Amino acid sequence: MSRHVNKIRIVCLTLFFVFALVWFAFSSLTAPVADEELLTPFENTSVKPVIGYKTYRGYTYRTLTLQHKDSLPTLVFVHGTVGSCVDFEKYMMDEGLLEKFNMLAYDRVGYNYKDKNHVKESIAFERDLLDDLTKEIPNDNIVYVGYSYGGPIALATKKKLKK
Protein backbone atom coordinates (compact mmCIF):
# COMPACT_ATOMS: atom_id res chain seq x y z
CA MET A 1 0.00 0.00 0.00
CA SER A 2 2.75 2.48 0.89
CA ARG A 3 4.43 1.81 -2.48
CA HIS A 4 1.31 2.95 -4.28
CA VAL A 5 1.03 6.03 -2.09
CA ASN A 6 4.66 6.95 -2.81
CA LYS A 7 4.14 6.46 -6.55
CA ILE A 8 1.06 8.66 -6.46
CA ARG A 9 2.96 11.35 -4.53
CA ILE A 10 5.83 11.27 -7.03
CA VAL A 11 3.45 11.49 -9.99
CA CYS A 12 1.52 14.36 -8.38
CA LEU A 13 4.70 16.30 -7.53
CA THR A 14 6.07 15.75 -11.02
CA LEU A 15 2.84 16.96 -12.62
CA PHE A 16 2.79 19.99 -10.32
CA PHE A 17 6.35 20.99 -11.27
CA VAL A 18 5.74 20.42 -14.98
CA PHE A 19 2.56 22.51 -14.81
CA ALA A 20 4.36 25.27 -12.87
CA LEU A 21 7.22 25.33 -15.39
CA VAL A 22 4.87 25.48 -18.38
CA TRP A 23 2.78 28.21 -16.74
CA PHE A 24 5.87 30.28 -15.91
CA ALA A 25 7.29 29.92 -19.43
CA PHE A 26 3.96 30.77 -21.06
CA SER A 27 3.22 33.78 -18.87
CA SER A 28 6.71 35.24 -19.17
CA LEU A 29 6.88 34.80 -22.95
CA THR A 30 3.46 36.28 -23.68
CA ALA A 31 3.29 39.03 -21.05
CA PRO A 32 3.09 42.64 -22.22
CA VAL A 33 6.17 44.75 -21.53
CA ALA A 34 6.81 48.40 -20.68
CA ASP A 35 7.12 50.89 -23.56
CA GLU A 36 10.92 51.06 -23.27
CA GLU A 37 11.22 47.27 -23.48
CA LEU A 38 8.82 47.19 -26.42
CA LEU A 39 11.10 49.48 -28.44
CA THR A 40 14.38 47.76 -27.45
CA PRO A 41 14.38 45.18 -30.30
CA PHE A 42 14.06 48.03 -32.82
CA GLU A 43 17.06 50.05 -31.54
CA ASN A 44 19.64 48.73 -34.02
CA THR A 45 17.31 48.65 -37.01
CA SER A 46 16.05 51.18 -39.51
CA VAL A 47 12.54 50.51 -38.19
CA LYS A 48 11.26 53.20 -35.86
CA PRO A 49 7.78 52.32 -34.61
CA VAL A 50 5.67 54.83 -32.73
CA ILE A 51 3.95 53.93 -29.47
CA GLY A 52 0.64 55.62 -28.88
CA TYR A 53 -2.29 55.41 -26.52
CA LYS A 54 -5.92 55.58 -27.57
CA THR A 55 -9.14 55.52 -25.61
CA TYR A 56 -12.31 53.69 -26.54
CA ARG A 57 -15.43 53.87 -24.35
CA GLY A 58 -13.29 55.01 -21.42
CA TYR A 59 -10.71 52.23 -21.79
CA THR A 60 -7.13 53.17 -22.69
CA TYR A 61 -5.02 50.83 -24.78
CA ARG A 62 -1.57 50.94 -26.39
CA THR A 63 -0.78 50.96 -30.12
CA LEU A 64 2.45 50.27 -31.99
CA THR A 65 2.51 51.84 -35.45
CA LEU A 66 4.83 51.79 -38.46
CA GLN A 67 3.61 54.29 -41.04
CA HIS A 68 5.77 54.68 -44.16
CA LYS A 69 3.52 55.78 -47.01
CA ASP A 70 -0.18 56.51 -47.00
CA SER A 71 -0.52 54.68 -50.31
CA LEU A 72 0.59 51.34 -48.83
CA PRO A 73 -1.94 48.92 -47.34
CA THR A 74 -1.88 48.52 -43.56
CA LEU A 75 -1.43 45.20 -41.78
CA VAL A 76 -3.49 45.38 -38.58
CA PHE A 77 -2.36 42.78 -36.05
CA VAL A 78 -4.85 41.45 -33.47
CA HIS A 79 -3.32 39.30 -30.73
CA GLY A 80 -5.00 36.37 -29.08
CA THR A 81 -5.97 35.70 -25.51
CA VAL A 82 -2.91 36.15 -23.35
CA GLY A 83 -0.79 38.16 -25.72
CA SER A 84 0.11 41.71 -26.65
CA CYS A 85 1.50 43.79 -29.50
CA VAL A 86 4.90 42.33 -28.53
CA ASP A 87 3.82 39.17 -30.35
CA PHE A 88 4.20 40.92 -33.71
CA GLU A 89 7.67 42.48 -33.33
CA LYS A 90 9.32 40.06 -35.76
CA TYR A 91 6.75 40.82 -38.45
CA MET A 92 7.26 44.53 -37.88
CA MET A 93 11.01 44.13 -38.47
CA ASP A 94 10.66 41.96 -41.59
CA GLU A 95 12.23 43.83 -44.53
CA GLY A 96 9.94 42.17 -47.09
CA LEU A 97 6.80 43.22 -45.24
CA LEU A 98 8.17 46.71 -44.55
CA GLU A 99 8.49 47.37 -48.28
CA LYS A 100 4.86 46.50 -48.93
CA PHE A 101 2.89 47.47 -45.83
CA ASN A 102 2.33 49.96 -43.06
CA MET A 103 1.73 48.09 -39.80
CA LEU A 104 -0.41 48.58 -36.72
CA ALA A 105 -0.54 46.38 -33.61
CA TYR A 106 -2.36 47.09 -30.38
CA ASP A 107 -2.87 45.67 -26.90
CA ARG A 108 -6.48 44.65 -26.43
CA VAL A 109 -8.23 46.07 -23.35
CA GLY A 110 -7.16 44.12 -20.28
CA TYR A 111 -3.88 43.03 -21.90
CA ASN A 112 -1.96 46.30 -21.69
CA TYR A 113 1.20 46.52 -19.60
CA LYS A 114 0.07 46.97 -15.98
CA ASP A 115 -3.53 47.24 -17.18
CA LYS A 116 -6.05 47.94 -14.43
CA ASN A 117 -8.98 47.07 -16.71
CA HIS A 118 -10.55 43.66 -16.85
CA VAL A 119 -10.38 41.70 -20.07
CA LYS A 120 -13.42 42.29 -22.26
CA GLU A 121 -14.98 38.93 -23.04
CA SER A 122 -17.19 40.21 -25.83
CA ILE A 123 -16.32 39.83 -29.49
CA ALA A 124 -18.76 42.68 -30.20
CA PHE A 125 -16.79 45.03 -27.92
CA GLU A 126 -13.47 43.90 -29.40
CA ARG A 127 -14.81 44.24 -32.95
CA ASP A 128 -16.14 47.73 -32.29
CA LEU A 129 -12.81 48.79 -30.74
CA LEU A 130 -10.98 47.41 -33.80
CA ASP A 131 -13.34 49.23 -36.16
CA ASP A 132 -12.81 52.45 -34.18
CA LEU A 133 -9.03 51.96 -34.25
CA THR A 134 -9.02 51.54 -38.04
CA LYS A 135 -11.64 54.16 -38.92
CA GLU A 136 -8.99 56.49 -40.41
CA ILE A 137 -7.63 53.78 -42.73
CA PRO A 138 -9.42 53.33 -46.07
CA ASN A 139 -11.24 49.98 -46.16
CA ASP A 140 -9.49 48.86 -49.34
CA ASN A 141 -6.11 49.39 -47.65
CA ILE A 142 -6.59 47.14 -44.59
CA VAL A 143 -5.36 43.59 -44.11
CA TYR A 144 -6.31 42.09 -40.74
CA VAL A 145 -4.00 39.49 -39.19
CA GLY A 146 -5.21 37.74 -36.05
CA TYR A 147 -4.35 34.59 -34.15
CA SER A 148 -6.18 32.66 -31.45
CA TYR A 149 -9.03 34.87 -30.16
CA GLY A 150 -7.71 37.70 -32.35
CA GLY A 151 -8.74 35.77 -35.47
CA PRO A 152 -12.49 35.84 -34.74
CA ILE A 153 -12.22 39.49 -33.71
CA ALA A 154 -10.63 40.36 -37.06
CA LEU A 155 -13.24 38.32 -38.94
CA ALA A 156 -16.09 40.03 -37.07
CA THR A 157 -15.31 43.51 -38.41
CA LYS A 158 -18.24 45.43 -39.85
CA LYS A 159 -16.02 47.08 -42.46
CA LYS A 160 -16.49 46.16 -46.10
CA LEU A 161 -13.01 45.07 -47.07
CA LYS A 162 -11.48 44.42 -50.45
CA LYS A 163 -11.28 40.68 -51.13
Task: Clarify whether residues 18 and 44 are in a common domain.
Answer: no
Choose the weakest-confidence range: 13-22, 67-76, 95-104. Answer: 13-22
Is residue 129 domain-shared with residue 142, that is, in the same domain? yes
Does residue 160 belong to any structural domain of this protein?
no
Model pTM? 0.79
- Whether residues 18 and 43 share a domain: the answer is no
Judged by DSSP in three states, 119 sits in coil
pLDDT at 106: 96
Task: Report the range of poorest mean pLDDT among 24-28, 54-58, 110-114, 120-124.
Answer: 24-28
Q: Are residues 61 and 91 in the same domain?
A: yes
Q: What is the pLDDT of residues 138-151, one digit of tens each?
A: 888 999 999 999 99
Alpha helices in 88-149 (DSSP H): 89-92, 95-100, 123-133
**Does residue 73 share a domain with residue 21?**
no
Same domain, 49 and 4: no
Mean pLDDT of 73-84: 92
Q: Would you say residue 54 lies in a domain?
A: yes
CATH number at residue 67: 3.40.50.1820
- Same domain for 54 and 111? yes
Which tops the pLDDT comparison, 78 or 13? 78
Name the residue range of residue 3's domain: 1-30
Model pLDDT for residues 27-61, shown as the tens digit of each residue: 555 567 788 888 888 888 888 899 999 999 999 99
pLDDT-derived band at 160, boundaries 50, 70, 90 = confident
Asked if 24 and 41 sit in the same domain, the reply is no
Domain match, 41 and 58 both: yes
Does 75 lie in the same domain as 92? Answer: yes
24 shares its domain with 90: no
pLDDT for res 9:
83
Distance CA 12, CA 17 (A): 9
Count structural domains, the chain. Answer: 2
∠ Cα 140 136 141 (to 5°): 20
> Between 10 and 132, whose confidence is greater?
132
Strand (E) or helix (H) holding 2: helix 2-30
